[in-house]
Amino acid sequence: MVLVEPIQQTRHKGDEVMESGYYEWGNRNNPTLVFLHGMGSAGLSFGELAKLTMSNYHIIAFDLPGHGGKAPLPNEEDYLPTSIAENLSKLIESLGLTDVILVGHSWGAHLALYLAGLYPKMVKGLILLDGGYFQQDPVGDSLAKQLENVDVFTEKVRYPSWEAFLESEKVDSPTWSKEIEAGRLAQVTEIDGEIRLAISPFTAKAVIKGIYQDQTAIMFPKVLSPVLLMRSTLPTEVEDDRRTAIEYFVEKIPQAEVQAIPNTSHDIYRDAPEIISWKINEWIKRKL
């Protein structure tokens, strides 16, 4: 069965309702890629990449807690990567998936490393999209400064209408499609007549605190699967810091392969979806 459009589903397990809204593309008989998005994003943000990749794979993308259509978690500690990885492992298991290939961007890459390290039997391969290898903020902001920036940024993002929001997004996007539009719309919601970010300041701060408390370096020695890190090259000012972080990353995960994608920012899969799709396919064929 080929699913040419993403579907959002709620699964049931016994008497327990699994609130597992997810999106699905491709043929379920093919190897499964599980996409994990970054902070402030949503599962549908991978729509363009999934469209380019789904001919060879079965693709699942989740809305992570407090993002897209998923309800936020009640406590800060619930956002610790160890806690979210445990919940994701149960969710993946409930969908009957085994030997999955994780594809994580930014915060999603952080979570993917925790999944791979804590549940190695579940993960066949790990693809990181410009995330998971830094142990500190790449621009050098302290934790306190990042938390302060959250309030400023979330307060700043306000649009009078859905049309105004989309027009603003189109200005900053070199291409546009129904998949890109759906992904952008999934990141916002209407609050008191204004279009605002769907992620709340509480969720954003909890995510940032969790990243600082559960750093990925703890997981590096526990990752057993093949790893591909595709990393950005912009801005060039942090290139030295990138190289230092990558040296440590490959020292601790010797089976990791690192590829720099020219002229890409942190939103690497949005900047170069065709290249990222091709490299995913080529690496899986070569390594898995």
Q: What is the pTM of this model?
A: 0.93
- CATH of the domain spanning 2-139+215-287, picked from 3.40.250.10, 3.20.20.70, 3.40.50.1820, 3.10.105.10: 3.40.50.1820
pLDDT, tens only, 214-250: 999 999 999 999 999 999 999 999 999 999 999 999 9
Q: What is the pLDDT of residue 9?
A: 40
Q: What is the pLDDT of residue 177?
A: 95
Q: What is the pLDDT of residue 7?
A: 44
The percentage of the chain sitting over the pLDDT mark of 70, rounded to a whole number, equals 93
Position 1 pLDDT exceeds 60: no
The band of 136, judged by pLDDT with boundaries at 50, 70 and 90, is confident
Q: SS3 for 2?
A: strand
Backbone angles phi, psi at 283, to 5 degrees: -65, -45
Q: What is the pLDDT of residue 141?
A: 82
The band of 172, judged by pLDDT with boundaries at 50, 70 and 90, is confident
Average pLDDT over residues 183-204: 96
d(CA 269, CA 171): 18
The DSSP line for 42-83 is -GGGGHHHHHHHTTS-EEEEEPPTTSTTSPPPSSGGGGSHHH
Q: What is the pLDDT of residue 140?
A: 76
Q: What is the pLDDT of residue 90?
A: 95
The percentage of the chain sitting over the pLDDT mark of 90, rounded to a whole number, equals 87
The band of 282, judged by pLDDT with boundaries at 50, 70 and 90, is very high
d(CA 158, CA 154): 8
Position 19 pLDDT exceeds 60: no
pLDDT, tens only, 25-62: 999 999 999 999 999 999 999 999 999 999 999 999 99
The band of 139, judged by pLDDT with boundaries at 50, 70 and 90, is confident
pLDDT, tens only, 49-101: 999 999 999 999 999 999 998 999 999 999 999 999 999 999 999 999 999 99
